[in-house]
Structure 1
Amino acid sequence: MKKVNILSWIIIILAISYFIIPLLATFEFSLRLIRGHYSFEAYRVVFVQPDFQDAFRNSILLALATIILSIILVVPAAYIVRLRLPSWRSPVEFVTLLPLVIPAIIIVFGYLRMFNSSSWLPLTDSKASTYFLLALGYVVLALPYMYRSVDAGLRAIDVKTLTEAGQSLGASGFTILTRIILPNIRSGVLSGSFIAFAIVIGEFTFASLLNLQVFGTYLQLIGANRAYEPSALAIVAFLITWACMGLLQLVGRSRAAKQAR
């Protein structure tokens, strides 16, 4: 048993080292902009750049738009499937898994063919409409995670009883969904939202092919022209992603604690 425990610890240490050592090396390299001294000058240089501020602001706004659109799309669909159409559950789950199977570059090329300036619904004629198209693309990328998070939240509650209770009190379908169902699956919605936020912050393919400036494209652009600043941005992206994962864990723990009560 001791030999097994020692081997297990060795494997864990090697796995952690494989992940941590490159990250520490990247962080150490990002501090060497001023030769002979460690400093956060690379971070300061990046943060004061107007292009970075615009790109980061665009990513934040796109993330918020993606979360809102995903909630509007997924919550009613998952609720209806759960309550009225249980036989559709497998087909719907299959459809929501497609973004994991179909490469992002194929999806965005399909968008460009369908919504270009000569199509029936042009969404690439202006910057605003193109950003809206990008947000729709991010909704598709986040769909597998958002749907499963919401569906897990619906499984944890008695949807039928809550719906019938609301109907007996004269509540409309919209009221039942927004004031009864949604508050009870708040943790599931938040879990999907954090994952969607992390996806939008790190995504590159959609924005690059649509020729829009977001955090991912700015990271690629500065990486082609600078040495230390890309390392600083990589650390920033890592911290944002892991902050989302940490919040996801906190939400998951709070949900488990409520279920245990």
Structure 2
Amino acid sequence: MKTSRFWAWLVFAVGAAYFFIPLIATFEFSLRMRRGEYSFDAYRVVLGDSRFQETFGYSVTVAVFTILLGVFLVVPTAYWIRLRMPHLRPIVEFITLLPLVIPAIVIVFGYIRMYGSNSPLPFLGSARGTDALLVIGYATLALPYMYRAVDTGLRTIDVRTLTEAAQILGAGWATIIARVILPNVLIAVLSGAFLTFAIVIGEFTLASLLNRPAFGPYLQNIGANRAYEPAALAVIAFAITWGCMSVIQILARFAPKSANRPN
């Protein structure tokens, strides 16, 4: 027992060191902008940069629309699959896994070819059309995480009984999804939403090739031209991502227990 615990703690320590030492070194380097002493000058420069504010604000806005689109698509689909078409579940799960194996660069080149200026649907000819394609592309990249989060939430509730009770009270399908199903899987939806937010904030390929002023290309551009600011941005991006993950863990504590009979 003591030997197994020793090796378990040793593996944990090695993994923690592999993870935290580069992070600590990056943070320490970001404080060296002022020669001979530590300071937060790099963070002040980054946070005061108008391009940082514009790109981060743009990415946050795109993330909100991406989350709304993902919820609008995934919640009704996962609910209907679980209620009426469980035999299609393996097919839907396979489809939702495709964004993990299809590179984002393939998706964006497909957009350029199908929606360029010479196509019947020239979405890329306007900024709003390009923004719409970017939101759809991000929703596609986040689909595996959003779908599994919602599907896990649906497993914890009795979907059929809730649906039948709502129908007895005269509720339509839209009311059932919006006022019965969605509130019961809200924690799962929020978990998928925070994962989607983290993906959108750090994504580079789609935004860069579609020439949108997003946070990912800004990170890459700063990293190619400056020294201390990229380290500060890396720490900020890490804090945002892990902040989202921490919120997911906190929300998971309030998730409905599986004591309810699953459908």
Give matches, 1:184-223, under 5 Å: 184-223=184-223
Counterpart CA distance in 2 for 1:43 and 1:245 is: 23
Counterpart CA distance in 2 for 1:7 and 1:182 is: 44
- 3-state SS in 1 of match to 2:161: helix
Over residues 135-188 of structure 1, what are the superposed CA-to-partner deviations in whole Å (9 max), with x where a residue is unaligned? 110000000000011111111111111111111111111001100010001011
Paired residue total: 260
| Structure 2 counterpart of 1:162 | 162
Give matches, 1:143-158, under 5 Å: 143-158=143-158
| Structure 2 counterpart of 1:226 | 226
Give matches, 1:81-230, under 5 Å: 81-230=81-230
| Structure 2 counterpart of 1:23 | 23
| Structure 1 counterpart of 2:57 | 57
| Structure 2 counterpart of 1:5 | 5
| Structure 1 counterpart of 2:235 | 235
- 3-state SS in 1 of match to 2:255: helix
CA contact (8 A) 2:157 2:258 kept: no
Over residues 201-220 of structure 1, what are the superposed CA-to-partner deviations in whole Å (9 max), with x where a residue is unaligned? 11001111111111110010
Counterpart CA distance in 2 for 1:7 and 1:154 is: 38
Q: 1:254 Cα shift?
A: 1.4
Counterpart CA distance in 2 for 1:233 and 1:215 is: 10
Counterpart CA distance in 1 for 2:42 and 2:228 is: 6
The percentage of counterpart residues that share the same residue type is: 59
Give matches, 1:24-39, under 5 Å: 24-39=24-39
| Structure 1 counterpart of 2:72 | 72
Counterpart CA distance in 1 for 2:29 and 2:133 is: 37
TM-score (norm 2): 0.96
Q: 1:10 Cα shift?
A: 1.4
Q: Return the letter of the residue paired with 1:66.
A: T
Counterpart CA distance in 2 for 1:260 and 1:28 is: 47
Q: Which runs of 5+ in 2 are unaligned?
A: none
- 3-state SS in 1 of match to 2:118: coil
Q: 1:4 Cα shift?
A: 2.2
Q: Return the letter of the residue paired with 2:162.
A: L
Counterpart CA distance in 2 for 1:183 and 1:254 is: 13
- 3-state SS in 2 of match to 1:235: helix
- 3-state SS in 1 of match to 2:116: coil
Counterpart CA distance in 1 for 2:246 and 2:103 is: 28
Q: Return the letter of the residue paired with 1:200.
A: V
Counterpart CA distance in 2 for 1:247 and 1:25 is: 26
Residue 246 (structure 1) aligned with residue 246 (structure 2): yes
RMSD of aligned alpha carbons: 1.2
Counterpart CA distance in 2 for 1:55 and 1:24 is: 26
Q: 1:110 Cα shift?
A: 0.9
Q: Return the letter of the residue paired with 1:199.
A: I
Q: Return the letter of the residue paired with 1:2.
A: K
CA contact (8 A) 2:219 2:230 kept: yes
Q: 1:120 Cα shift?
A: 2.1
Q: 1:72 Cα shift?
A: 0.5
Q: Return the letter of the residue paired with 2:196.
A: A
- 3-state SS in 2 of match to 1:254: coil
Q: Which runs of 5+ in 1 are unaligned?
A: none
| Structure 1 counterpart of 2:42 | 42
